[in-house]
Chain A
Amino acid sequence: MIGDWLDIGSVTQIEPGNARTLPVRGGEEIAVFHTLDNQFYALVNKCPHKSGPLSQGIVHGNVVTCPLHNWNISLKTGEALGDDKGCVPTIPLRVDAGRIYLLRDAVIGKATA
């Protein structure tokens, strides 16, 4: 149902290999990623290590490297890779007809939680 999903913009608004941010009033800022493989992911914009803004990291494969201390975070699961331990919440995302949708409950839930 469309009502369950928030339309946050067009796929063309995020260049492949980049991320854009989505502040949520009263909640955690979300980072929306577009990989070079043309996959889209949404994560809370906070590295599990020292809360670095993941949206500003280098994207390779489906991994983002945090700009503060080079932790590698899986865009699919939000989990730290390699020897690092930690996890950042992911937000269910879908793309339909060139629009990006986030699961409303996951976005707002973060705001009211």
Chain B
Amino acid sequence: MVNAPVSFSDKTAASALRERLVVIGNGMAGCRAVEEVLLRDPARYDVTIFGAEPRVNYNRIMLSPVLAGEKAFDDIVINDAAWYADNGITLISGDPVVTIDRATQTVIARSGRVEPYDKLLIATGSDPFIIPVPGHDLGGVVTFRDLDDVDRMLAAADKGGSAVVIGGGLLGLEAAHGLSLRGMQVTVVHLMPTLMERQLDEAAGYLLKTELERRGQTIVTGGDTAEIVGADGHVSAVRLKDGREFAADIVVMAVGIRPATGLAKAAGLDVERGIMVDDHMVTSDPNVLAVGECVQHRGACYGLVAPLWDMCRALADAITWDGATGSPSGYEGSVTSTKLKVSGIDLFSAGDFSGGDGAEDIVMRDAARGVYKRVVVKESRLVGAVLYGDTADGNWYFDLLRKGEDITDIREALIFGQAFAQGGASLDPNAAVAALSEDAEICGCNGVSKGKVVACIAGGANSLDAVRSGCKASASCGSCTGLVESLLALTLGEGAVESGPKTMCKCTSFTHSDVRRAIVDKGLRSIPQVMQELHWTTPDGCASCRPALNYYLLCALPGEYEDDQKSRFVNERMHANIQKDGTYSVVPRMWGGLTNPRELRAIADVVEKYDAPMVKVTGGQRLDIFGIRKEDLPAVWADLNAAGMVSGHAYGKSLRTVKTCVGSEWCRFGTQDSTGLGVKIEQMTWGSWMPHKFKIAVSGCPRNCAEATIKDFGVVCVDSGYELHVGGNGGIKVRATDLLCKVETEGEAMDICAAFIQFYREDAWYLERTAPWIERVGLDYVKAALFGDPQAVSRLATRFRYSQRFMQDDPWARRAAGEHAELHQHLAEVRPFQMETV
């Protein structure tokens, strides 16, 4: 290993006549530039290279495999000592340049050495960014930039223990992988919610995180470092702003890089984020050039290696140009691609996948193989690609992207990769499927061949559903749905295929029922996981499926699933009802429609204090306060909480109200205590999330003053007990309830109410009220579920009460205490100065 200050000098007498090219930076950019120049005109320049590191030029991007033990330093040397000698290059390493004097055209090194230049090339690269938290200067805090950093990490790994890597980007994850392979317990702390967010979308980030966790790393996303804690001048732990602390014998800071522009700035060159260069890599001084990570070209700074090669070619063309023939090529910026160098994880990202005007996503997921592919097409050109699990076509996509080729002809088959898209005549997916042999496997899950699917279709299956039930193809994971649809079209002709039940939304080929069943059967636990396992065709769903999935998961995993606020409609996110002017209305709960002076005073005080323009008595027997601004909501809730009131959930797909009449306590016709029962039912059911809003009423006699027979669940008291009615609706389409059953005691009425609600929660589609649900499934189906087995009511009611343990937590109180304050506060406020005009 060459690892000591070295200096090679092999100047010939003729060199004095040549132009002097001095290069600051012995890294990949500086040396590549010199190679390119030598290639074009080996005799033109007398070259001197200054390097800050005391060694020859090596491939910096291969430091990760060195850390991981897959390569040795000698393997990654690009230019060994002989190269400098053979090409007559003077290498001054371990003696960095400290000053550029443009007036005298000289550079001065730390040792005092002065070197004159005709052309100066700055290739200082970039510096790792150190977040200035307390403790960042403790021993054991390292960056990941050069071989010395790798040596420090290896020394730490030899002692074992724990490592914390701050930064879950490319470099951070490669450092984490290396340290993990070297036997350390590794925690990655990443500020953003998904790993490698600049290269990956949420879906691919999720797969990566899952895989790294499976390998034993602890991945903390959304982790904001507060402090690096130390003992005796050496790091011992990393503490996050939320109070979590992770033990650390070494901390690797890999949060990003900054162009190293100090020398250039001190020399008075134009510098913004990087050193400003034109298309020929010339800075604001015509005799000073710059390449690599230190430059800013057309507004862009690059932190990857590929752009270096293009820059170096343009630079060499320019400074070896004879000034007569043609004109030198220029650098026009680079499209970059990324691959993660972590063995066993295939990940590729290129171009722009942020979508935009006219951009269209094509997504393919294969849950069984852990594959996620997404390409973005815009105006018949490929503009971006993210691949996880199968990157075989990465280079092909990147090539299409860079060349900007028109992909109209291969668009349909693009996502399947090069072999498929360019497989001769099979550009049309139907044609490609037609070309498959009879024994080609269509459905991997159930081992169904093309021949079997075609036979099933020929035997009368004329819809996707019929094929699924006939031969099981596409009945499990669904990833072959497209192939089965092609076979249906091929066998029957396009027009003869019957469309199946309505899918959940345009993002999926599955119905609501399919999705609900899959969540339970496969034990799915998060929205990205559902989207991956069920092959969503969009990266992060839409405004229809996100709230539905959030509800389905919440219903399936009470107490475990963390409610996803960003998948909630505004009213449920803000816990109030948005009005046409953007203000909100607030409805506190009044149990069974009862209230008292204390509550009424608190409401009156709120109305005056926040200048609410209107208060209205609602149809659900409570009071609605209008015109509250989102900023004031937490304060309003705090005031209402103080008087003992909680959220009325008037805004939610949830239990709304329990309307009551006065009942036997006051009414001369009353048969039972309808008010008391209504209060008990509301106390049991409040706070529960449902597929849609849910209204209950309890009437004390068949005169039915509480209108129980147009509610989702209605109780009509009679002398001998309680009639329980379900599926009523007073909305657009009025529907009177169906009689579910009659019971004798309050306790039975309560149990059946809980059981019915739970069955509705578990069975109905999101945004389906009980009325259309019962019309769809039939009352007998509901009765069978509740009464088909003597234990059914008790089982369902028990599940409902278990779920309620987690739901009956007043959301207003949590907001009033400061939870999700960001949803209520402005980011900032702009107050422009008024300019005096004369």
By a beta-carbon cutoff of 8 Å, the part of chain A in contact with chain B is 6, 8-9, 11-18, 20-27, 30, 32, 35-39, 50-53, 56-63, 65, 67-68, 70, 72, 74, 76-77, 96, 107-108, 111-112
Contact = CB atoms under 8 A, between A and B. Distances in A.
Nearest to A112: B832
B378 to A, nearest CB: 11
Interface in B802-838: 822-823, 825-832
B776 interface: no
B539 interface: yes
Contact of B822 (A13, A16, A35, A60): A13
Size bracket of the B interface: 35 or more
Interface of B: 191-194, 197-198, 201-202, 224, 273, 353-357, 361, 538-543, 546-547, 565-571, 573-574, 578, 580, 582, 630, 822-823, 825-832
A18 B92 CA distance: 53
A61 B357 contact: no
A100 to B, nearest CB: 8
A101 B566 CA distance: 24
Contact of A67 (B565, B569, B831): B569
A22 B825 CA distance: 9
B822 A15 contact: yes
Contacts of B630: 56
A22 B830 contact: yes
29 contacts: A6-B830, A8-B828, A9-B827, A18-B566, A20-B822, A20-B825, A21-B826, A21-B827, A25-B832, A26-B832, A27-B832, A36-B194, A36-B201, A36-B540, A36-B566, A37-B197, A53-B582, A58-B567, A58-B568, A58-B569, A60-B540, A61-B538, A65-B543, A67-B571, A67-B578, A68-B578, A76-B356, A108-B832, A112-B832
Given A20-B827, A23-B830, A25-B829, A38 B543 contact: no
DSSP majority for the B interface?
Answer: loop
B354 A23 contact: no
B357 A74 contact: yes
B202 A37 contact: yes
Contacts of B192: 11, 16, 38
B831 A25 contact: yes
- The residue in B197, B566, B831 that gathers the most chain A C-beta atoms within 10 A of its C-beta is B566
A58 B827 contact: no
A111 B538 CA distance: 38
A32 B829 CA distance: 12
Given A36-B540, A108-B830, A59 B191 contact: no
Given A15-B822, A67-B569, A61 B543 contact: no
Contact of B832 (A18, A24, A51): A24
A25 B832 CA distance: 7
A6 B547 CA distance: 35
B243 to A, nearest CB: 17
Nearest to B191: A12
Nearest to A108: B832
Contact of B354 (A8, A27, A37): A37
B272 to A, nearest CB: 9
Contacts of A59: 566
- The residue in A13, A37, A51, A65 that gathers the most chain B C-beta atoms within 10 A of its C-beta is A37
A14 B582 contact: no
A88 to B, nearest CB: 14
B547 A38 contact: no
Contacts of B542: 60-61, 63, 65
Contacts of A63: 542
Contacts of A30: 830
For the complex of A and B, list the 4 residue pairs with the smallest distance between their C-beta atoms, beginning with the closest.
Answer: A17-B566, A20-B827, A65-B543, A67-B570
Given A9-B828, A37-B354, A76-B356, A61 B539 contact: yes
B830 A15 contact: no
A56 B570 contact: yes
A62 B356 CA distance: 7
A27 B831 CA distance: 9
Given A12-B191, A38-B198, A56 B578 contact: yes
A15 B832 contact: no
Contacts of B540: 17, 36-37, 60-61
Contact of B541 (A16, A60, A76): A60
Contacts of A70: 543
Nearest to A23: B829
A58 B545 CA distance: 11
Contacts of A96: 273
Contacts of A21: 826-827
A16 B273 CA distance: 26
B197 A22 contact: no
A39 B580 CA distance: 29
Contact of A37 (B224, B539, B565, B571): B539
Contact of B355 (A16, A22, A53, A61): A61
B460 to A, nearest CB: 38
Contacts of A67: 569-571, 578
Contact of B826 (A18, A20, A61, A77): A20
B193 A15 contact: yes
Contacts of A39: 354
Given A56-B578, A58-B543, A37 B566 contact: no
